[in-house]
Structures are given as structure tokens and as C-alpha cells.
């Protein structure tokens, strides 16, 4: 029976920077700028502590400086993410609260408002707008002689307007 082999995975995610690259990236002499987060970790440890760390049973003590830097960056970005998330959540909550208040206020207002439909006034206003004496339908209701008189009057007025 053949043995299954899992090929060794290469983690190239954390590629070490060359000295020149590092100098270009590090504009801050006191902290290392890593993807926008200033590292809080003290990367300049004495060799003495390094030795004691190597002998201790704490698994985190074996972490190299590089891995400390990454962990610190991760913690930094997590903190910033938390802050952004919290601020967004807060704004959503306040927005929802505002909507709730508005709805409640509107409901209170609607409850205390009497709704009336003034059909009579509406009909009158529409009638006054469309009740034109010179509309064809209204003219047809009048006797022909009256329409003839109106025709003569309007024609005289039109002649005058053409002269002016």
C-alpha cells in the first residue's frame, strides 16, 4: 500500500524584507509601520532575555521578533476593526432609534388628528376653475340669440386687439 504524502507547504506570506526595503518602509524611527499600524511591540530585546525565553516552558516565549511584529500588527488591526465596527453599529442603532421615535411620533400625531374631507369645498373649487362661460358645453345651453350677441361682442374686441 502506497503511503500518502502531503507536500510541504511553503508559506510565502511573510516574506522577509531586504535591508534596503526595510529602510524604505520604516519612516518612523521609534515604531515600525506595518500596513498602517504602528507596532507597539518592543522588538529590540536584549540577548539575555532571548536566552531565558528559549529555556522557558511558555510556548509564546519562543516567538521570534518577526512573529512578534506580525502578532502585534494583527492585534492592532483587530483593535482598529473593532473600533470601526462599534462606531458603525452605534450609528445603525441610533438611526433605528430615530426611525422608531419618528414612527411613534407620527402615530401619536395621526391618533390626535381629525381627518376631514371637504367634498363641498372641493367641488366648488373645481367648478370655479372649470366653470367657464365661454366653454362650448356652457354656450350650447344658452339660446342662439345670446350666443350671437356674444359672438358680435367678441369679434369687435378681436378687431380692436388687431388694430392695437
Partner 1 sequence: MKTINRIDNIIEALCRHEDPKSISILEEIGTNSEIDEIREKTAQALIRKNTPESLRLVVSSAGKGINDLSARVAMSAINEILGLNDKTEVLKVLEETMNSEEKSEIKDTARSVKALITYSM
- Residues making contact with partner 1 (CB under 8 A): 132, 134-136, 139-140, 143-145, 147-148, 150-152, 154-155, 157-159, 161-162
Nearest distance from C-beta of residue 122 to partner 1, angstroms: 23
Nearest distance from C-beta of residue 152 to partner 1, angstroms: 6
Indicate the residue among 38 and 156 with the shorter CB distance to partner 1: 156
Indicate the residue among 55 and 133 with the shorter CB distance to partner 1: 133
What is the Cα–Cα distance from 39 to 32, expressed in whole angstroms? 5
Nearest distance from C-beta of residue 128 to partner 1, angstroms: 14
Indicate the residue among 96 and 148 with the shorter CB distance to partner 1: 148
Nearest distance from C-beta of residue 135 to partner 1, angstroms: 6
Q: How many CB atoms lie within 10 A of CB 41?
A: 19
Q: How many CB atoms lie within 10 A of CB 69?
A: 17
Indicate the residue among 24 and 146 with the shorter CB distance to partner 1: 146
- Cβ-count burial of 73 within 10 angstroms (0-12 exposed, 13-18 middle, 19+ buried)? buried
Nearest distance from C-beta of residue 164 to partner 1, angstroms: 12
Indicate the residue among 95 and 151 with the shorter CB distance to partner 1: 151
What CA dihedral angle connects 65, 68, 69 and 70, to 10 degrees?
A: 130
Amino acid at each position: 500500500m502506497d503511503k500518502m504524502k502531503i507536500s510541504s507547504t511553503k508559506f510565502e506570506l511573510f516574506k522577509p524584507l531586504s535591508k534596503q526595503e526595510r529602510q524604505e518602509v520604516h519612516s518612523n524611527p521609534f515604531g515600525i509601520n506595518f500596513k498602517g499600524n504602528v507596532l507597539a511591540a518592543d522588538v529590540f530585546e536584549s540577548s539575555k532575555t532571548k536566552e531565558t525565553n528559549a529555556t522557558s516552558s511558555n510556548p509564546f516565549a519562543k516567538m521570534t521578533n518577526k512573529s512578534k511584529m506580525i502578532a502585534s500588527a494583527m492585534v492592532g488591526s483587530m483593535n482598529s476593526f473593532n473600533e470601526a465596527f462599534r462606531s458603525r453599529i452605534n450609528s445603525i442603532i441610533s438611526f433605528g432609534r430615530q426611525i422608531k421615535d419618528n414612527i411613534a411620533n407620527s402615530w401619536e400625531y395621526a391618533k390626535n388628528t381629525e381627518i376631514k374631507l371637504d367634498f363641498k369645498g372641493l367641488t366648488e373649487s373645481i367648478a370655479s376653475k372649470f366653470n367657464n362661460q365661454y366653454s362650448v358645453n356652457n354656450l350650447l345651453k344658452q339660446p342662439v340669440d345670446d350666443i350671437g350677441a356674444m359672438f358680435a361682442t367678441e369679434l369687435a374686441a378681436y378687431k380692436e386687439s388687431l388694430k392695437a
